[in-house]
Structures are given as C-alpha cells and as structure tokens.
Structure 1
Amino acid sequence: MDPLTLGALVAVLTIAVLFSGISVAAGLLVVSAGFLIVFDGMSSLSLIPEIFFGKLDNFALLSIPMFIIMGAAIASTRAGADLYEALERWLTRIPGGLVVSNLGACALFAAMSGSSPATCAAIGKMGIPEMRKRGYPDGVAAGSIAAGGTLGILIPPSVTMIVYGIATETSIGRLFLAGVVPGLMLVGLFMVWSLWSTWRSGQASVLSAGSYSWRERMEILPRVLPFVAIIIGVLYAMYGGIATPSETAAVGALLCLLIAVVIYKLWDPRAIWVILRDSTKESVMILFIIAAAGVFSYMLSSLFITQAIAEWIGTLDVNRWVLMGTINVFLIIAGFFLPPVAVILMAAPILLPIITTAGFDPIWFAVVLTINMEIGLISPPVGLNLYVINGIAPDISLRTILVGSLPFVACMVVAIVLLCLFPGLATWLPDLVMGVAI
C-alpha cells in the first residue's frame, strides 16, 4: 500500500479508536501494534517493549513529576486566594482593575501550578463572585478566568513545553524562554479586551472598589512573594547554568512543599499524601502517553509514513504560510478533542520534518502550537475550562461562559498572527540568553 494512503488510514483509525473512549496511551499502543502486525508481521511486537521503555530512559523526564508536585503543592493551599487578594488590593482603585487583577492572578498562579483547571478553580472561586457583585458582565467574569487559566501551558515552567522538547529533541531551556514574551503579550491582549469590554458596558466608572491602606497592601505580600521567588529562582538556576531543568524542578518541588507546610500550616500527613498521590497519578498518565507515543512514532517511521508525508509536502507548490495556516487549523481541531500533551506527542513526529523543511524554527513553532492548544482548552466540545467555570458558577449558563470566552479565543488568534509577522517575539529572548542556535 502507498505510504500516503496508509498514513490516511492510520489517521482515520487512530481518531476512531480514541473516540471510542479508550485512554490516549492505550489507544496509541493498540493502533501501533495492529499496523505493525499487519505490515511487519508478529515478530515486530518483540520491539514494542524495548521502544516503550527506551522512550522513558531520558533524564529530562524527571522534571515532569517534579514540576507537577510543585504545582500540586501550590494548588493545595490558599496561594491562589492570597494571590488574588494581593493583586486586588494593589489594583482596586483602577476603574475595571478587578478584572485586570484576576487575569494577573491567573497568569501567576498558572505559571506556578502549571494546571489550567486548578487555576480556574483557585482564582475563579473568589474572582467570579466578586466581579459579578461589582457589576461586571457575566461573560467577562467567566470568560476572563477561563482564558486566564490556559496561560499555564505557555508561561514557564510549562509541562507541555517539556513534553514538546522531549518529543522533538529541542532545548527545554530555550522553549521555556520562548514562552515568556508571547505569554506576557497574551496576558496584555486579555487585559486590553477585558478593560475595553468593561468600558463599553458603560460601567467602568462604578467598577472600582473601596481603597486599601498601605498597611493592608503590604501585609498580604509575605504570603505570596515566596512562591514567586521560587519561580524566579528556578528559572535563574536553569538559565544561569547552575543546574539542569530536572535538578531545578526537584529543588522547586521541595521548596513548594516546605512553604505549604510552614506558611499555610499544611501539617497533616494525609494532606501531603494526597499531593504526592495525585501528582503520581498525573505523572504516570503523562509518562504512559509519552512512551506510547514513542511506539506510535516508531510505527509511522517503520512504515515510511512520516518520510512520505514530509517528502510529499516538500513537492507541493504552495506558499509556506498557506502550509502553516493549514497546520494551525489542524492543531485547533485536534485541540478541541484531545489534551495538549496527546496532541503534541502524536503530531510532533509528523509535523517537525514538515516545518523544518518549510524553513520554520522549531522553537517558534512550539509557541504557536501551544497557543493553539490553549484555544482548545476553552472551546467545545471538550473545553475543560468551560466546565470547570460552570461548576464554580452553575447559575452562569454554559452558553454565556462560551460566548464570554470567544473574544479571548480571538485574542489568541491575534497572538498567533503577531508571532507569524514577528517571529522574534518567541526567538529573541532565547537567543539573547542562550545565544543564537546553530
């Protein structure tokens, strides 16, 4: 069978298997084993265990459970509430400043926790009722939290960036740095839209709260600054050449656990056990997907599907930006149905040779891909953040939440367009800090 036809068959069957409700990792293994047996014979199955465990034999993978523990420790405390309250106290005199403080809290908490649902829950539980009480439209209140929660997969340290780096064998340090400027740009776009929407509603003049004294502003900072200091310290150690990403992640996880115990009095061993248990479950899930995706990639390469697709793309007489537009549409649609980690691991083996052949920077593309995944997090039918917000504020209809999140989807599309027009937004900081990649 022609490799391109075979590739189309693999794509159709993979989608069908995943839609059956089976887990992503198990689905990839079933599809891979099936095609290897049919086209390479039963003997090919003997290679699957070696490939599966070989994909996990990577020191960089240690950073994944460590960053997850780091985020779980933060999410288990009142850090989100304190972060929200601190920003509210400092920005409350600004007309419409509450929505800005919520987005800022989402950005910082998402960067610390790395979890989109945890961010929505932690900030939304306080932010949404407070914004509604002060007269903000329901769509702005719900949509801003749903969108703000997605920032965790872009702003470092990001688990999805680690997964992309492992899948494509690119520098995790560069990927983290590449997400900084686009992440801040996206936060800015979210804030601009929220403030304009608030002003358009004609209520901006009444949406500022009473003032706080300087004492009240300063007394909340000691509960928040230690977490922010850990994030800065982790990034400094990584980029200052002091330690590897895995080592800095381990130290960061330990410090976050200590802060949770010391500052937030998380003395109960059962609470710490819950943190470690849930972190282990999530880590195993991600590592299982990574290993299964390695088998899936081997199957694609063994049957010459990846090579044939890359060669076919190279012979197409189309503008490379048309090609990139097509890839973006594919990523957005995939993100509607699958989690970011699964999309990255499934798509990277196919897309990497295509984008490099077309002359695109893999580091730049990682940022574009991640923003596409953010769109999926606030878009139906899966749109996990939409359902988290609906659970927090059940009296806000899912339709209202969806309509409120659509302008933020438009902000993400604008961010992708800006990155295409100005690739340096993603590549400037990595090149500045780590030198120009050869």
Structure 2
Amino acid sequence: MDPLVLGGLVGIATIIVLFSGVPVAVGLLIVSTFFLFVFDGPRSLQALPELFYGDLNSFALLSIPMFIIMGSAIASTRAGPDLYEALERWLTRVPGGLVVSNLGACALFAAMSGSSPATCAAIGKMGIPEMRKRGYPDEVAAGSIAAGGTLGILIPPSVTMIVYGIATETSIGRLFLAGVLPGLLLVTLFIAWAIFDTWRRGAAGVALSGVRYTWAQRLEILPRVVPFLLIIAGVLYALYGGIATPSETAAVGALLCIVVAVVVYRMFRFNALWAVLRDSTRESVMILFIIGAAGVFSFMLSSLFVTQSIAGWIADLDVNRWVLMGIINLFLLVAGFFLPPVAVILMSAPILLPIILAAGFDPYWFAVIVTINMEIGLITPPVGLNLYVINGIAPDISLRKILAGSLPFVLSMVVAIIILSAFPGIVTWLPDIVMGPEL
C-alpha cells in the first residue's frame, strides 16, 4: 500500500480511537500495535517493549517529575492567592488594574507551577469574585483568567518545553530561554487588551473606586511570595549558567519548594505532603506513559515509511516556506483543539522538525510557535481544559460567556505568532546572548 494512503488510514484510526475516550497513551499503543501487526507482521511486535522502555531510559526525563513536584508544592499553598493579592495591592490605582493584577499573577504563578489548570484554579478562586464585585463584566473576569493560565506552558520552567526538547533532541536550556521574551510579549498583549477592553466597556472607573492600600499593607505580603520567586530565579540561573543540568536544578528546586511550603505556609501535616507527592506522581506517570507510547507510535510510522513519505511529499510541494508554515500552524491549531499539548508535540514534532529545518526555520523559534498554538487549544472548544476549570470555579458564568471573554486573547496569541514570524530574533536573541550561537 502507498505510504501516504497508509498514513491517512493511521490518522483516521488515531482520531477514532482517541475520540472514543481511551487515554491518549493507550490509544497510541493500540493504533501502533494494530498497524504493525497487519502491515509489518507479528515479528515486529517483539521490539515494542524494548522501544517503549527505551524512550523512557533518559536522564533528562528526570526533570519532568521534579518540575511537577516543584509546581505541585507551590500549588498546594496559598502562593497563588498571595501573588494575586500582592499585585492587586500595588496596581489597584491603575485603570483596569485588577485585570492587570490577575494577568500578572497568572504569569508569575504559571512560571512557578508550570500548570495551566492549577494557575486558573489558584488565581481564579480569588480573582474572579473580586473582579465581579468591582463591576467588571463576567466575560472579562473569566476570559482573562482562562487566558492567563495558558502562560504556564510557555514561560520557563515549562514541562511542555522539556517534552519538545526530548522529542526533538534540542537543548532544554535554550528552549527555556527562547520562551522568556515571547512569554513577556504575550503578557504585554494580554494586558494591553485588558486595559483597552475595560476602558471601552466603561469599567475602568469602577476599578478605581474605593480601595486604597498603605505602603505597609503593600509590603507586608511580599515575604510570603518572594521566596518562591527567588527559587525560580535560582533554578533558571543554575540552568542557564551551566552550573547544573536540567534534572539537577529541577530536583533542587523541588526540594526547596517543599521546604518553603513547610516553613512559610506551615504545611506540616503528613497528609498535605502526601497529596503533593501523590498528585505529582500521577501527572508524571501520565506524561511519561504518553512519551513511551509516542515513541512506539513514531517507530510504527517510520517502519511503515509513513514519516519519510509525508516529509518527502511536503518537501516536494512547490510553495513559499511561509505558506508551508501556515499549513503547519493550521494543523497544530486543529490538533490542539482535541489533544493535550504533550500528545501533540510528541506525535508531530519528530515528523515536522526535518521539514522545518529544510525550509530554513530555527527549531527553537518553531518550539515557541508550537507552544503558542497549544496555548490556543487550552481555551478553545471542544476540549479547552481551561474553560472547564473556570466554569468549575464560577458555575454561574456560562461556558459561552467564558469563551466570549477568551476569544480576544486567542486573537492576541495569533498577533504574537505574526510578530514572532516577522521578528524571529525575539525568540533567538536571548539564547544566543546567554549560551552563544548554536553551531
């Protein structure tokens, strides 16, 4: 059978299996096993266990559970509400300042936890009721938190970037650095829209009414959040300064976050610490299971010459490289509507990277573009995980209103992709300055 036709059958079968409700990793293994058995014979199945565990036999993968423990320790405390309250006290006199405070808190908490749902839950529980109480429309209150939560997969340290680095064999340190300026760009675009929107709706005046904080009140909350920020800064400094590997820095960061959670937030109870380790283990196993299954899926595609045929077909297309990039963006966007970011990256990055390199694009720039596409998927139906998290926090705000409030931020992400396409140096400048140009 023609490999391209076979690739189409694999794609259809994968969609059907995943839409059936089967977990992503199990679905990938089912599809891989079936097509290898039918088209390559039973003998090919002998290599599957070795392939599965071989993809997990990487020291770099240790950084994933460590960063997850780091984020889980932060998420289990009041660090999120404290971040929100600290920024709210400092920015309360700025027009639209409460929305800006929420977005800033989302950005900082996302950087500390690396989890979009955790960010939405931690900041939204305080931010949404407070914005509604001050007169902000439901769409603004819910949409800003849903969009702010997506920043966790771009701003370092990002588990998604680690997965991309492992899947494409690119430097995780450079990937983290590549996400810094685009992350700040997205935060700026989000804040700019939020301020404009509150002014347009006439809500800025409401935001300025009746709330004043003294300097003592502004300063008293900082000691509770500064230690976490210092840990993040230290982890990134150790990583970028070449002092330690990603796995080593993640392990030290996880330990320090647990210590700060115990000391600052009095998390002495064994049950609380057990919950952190239990939830971290579940999430880590889920991600690692997907990584192993995606390795088997990639082997199946390569063994049946599907990967090579797709790459050759795209390379033979006589189109402008930006048209090619537009097609790839559309594919990533649609995939992100239905699948979690980790699954999309593991399945698509190994296939797309050779095509991207052949077209003259930078792999680290492409990592940022992929990640922003995945962010869009987090706040768009039918999956749109962040939309459902916000709906769980504020069930009286309909999903339609949450989606309506999120859509302008989706457009902000599209604008960010356009800006980064026009000025790719925004992505590559910082890695080149800190780590030197990659040879």
TM-score > 0.5, shorter chain as reference: yes
Alignment-derived partner of residue 278 in structure 2: 277
- Equivalenced residue count is 438
Distance between the aligned counterparts of 1:140 and 1:425, measured in 2?
A: 29
Amino acid in structure 1 at the alignment position of 2:140 = V
* Displacement after TM superposition at 1:34 (Å): 1.0
* Displacement after TM superposition at 1:305 (Å): 1.0
Alignment-derived partner of residue 49 in structure 2: 49
Matches within 5 A, 1:22-101: 22-101=22-101
The root-mean-square deviation of aligned C-alpha atoms, in Å, is 0.8
Structure 1 portions without partners, runs of 5+: none
Alignment-derived partner of residue 242 in structure 1: 243
* Displacement after TM superposition at 1:161 (Å): 0.3
Distance between the aligned counterparts of 2:24 and 2:387, measured in 1?
A: 22
Alignment-derived partner of residue 409 in structure 2: 408
Matches within 5 A, 1:123-202: 123-202=123-202
CA deviations on 1:248-282 (whole Å, 9 max, x unpaired) are 00000000000110000000001100110110010
Alignment-derived partner of residue 418 in structure 1: 419
Distance between the aligned counterparts of 2:230 and 2:151, measured in 1?
A: 19
Distance between the aligned counterparts of 2:211 and 2:418, measured in 1?
A: 39
* Displacement after TM superposition at 1:33 (Å): 1.0
CA deviations on 1:168-221 (whole Å, 9 max, x unpaired) are 000000100000000000000000000000000123123125221111111100
Amino acid in structure 1 at the alignment position of 2:403 = L
Amino acid in structure 2 at the alignment position of 1:294 = G
TM-score, with structure 1 as normaliser: 0.99
Alignment-derived partner of residue 373 in structure 1: 374
Q: Which moved more, 1:79-88 or 1:309-318?
A: 309-318
Distance between the aligned counterparts of 1:306 and 1:411, measured in 2?
A: 33
Secondary structure at 1:16's aligned position in 2? helix
* Displacement after TM superposition at 1:349 (Å): 1.9
Amino acid in structure 1 at the alignment position of 2:86 = A
CA deviations on 1:400-432 (whole Å, 9 max, x unpaired) are 110000000000000011111111111111111
Structure 2 portions without partners, runs of 5+: none
Structure 1 residue ranges (4+ consecutive) displaced by more than 6 angstroms after TM superposition: none
Matches within 5 A, 1:209-358: 209-358=210-359
* Displacement after TM superposition at 1:240 (Å): 0.8
Q: Which moved more, 1:10-19 or 1:365-374?
A: 10-19
Distance between the aligned counterparts of 1:3 and 1:190, measured in 2?
A: 44
Alignment-derived partner of residue 119 in structure 2: 119
Alignment-derived partner of residue 7 in structure 2: 7
Distance between the aligned counterparts of 2:63 and 2:438, measured in 1?
A: 23
* Displacement after TM superposition at 1:356 (Å): 1.2
Identity %: 77
Alignment-derived partner of residue 431 in structure 1: 432
* Displacement after TM superposition at 1:437 (Å): 0.9
* Displacement after TM superposition at 1:112 (Å): 0.4
Q: Which moved more, 1:300-309 or 1:145-154?
A: 300-309
CA deviations on 1:321-355 (whole Å, 9 max, x unpaired) are 11111111111111111100000011112111111
Secondary structure at 2:27's aligned position in 1? helix
Secondary structure at 1:157's aligned position in 2? coil
* Displacement after TM superposition at 1:315 (Å): 1.1
Distance between the aligned counterparts of 2:306 and 2:396, measured in 1?
A: 49
Secondary structure at 1:224's aligned position in 2? helix
Distance between the aligned counterparts of 2:169 and 2:101, measured in 1?
A: 37
Distance between the aligned counterparts of 2:13 and 2:140, measured in 1?
A: 40
* Displacement after TM superposition at 1:120 (Å): 0.5
Distance between the aligned counterparts of 2:362 and 2:176, measured in 1?
A: 15
CA deviations on 1:84-125 (whole Å, 9 max, x unpaired) are 000011111112111101000000001101111110010001
Amino acid in structure 1 at the alignment position of 2:381 = P
Secondary structure at 1:258's aligned position in 2? helix
* Displacement after TM superposition at 1:138 (Å): 1.0
Distance between the aligned counterparts of 1:401 and 1:121, measured in 2?
A: 14
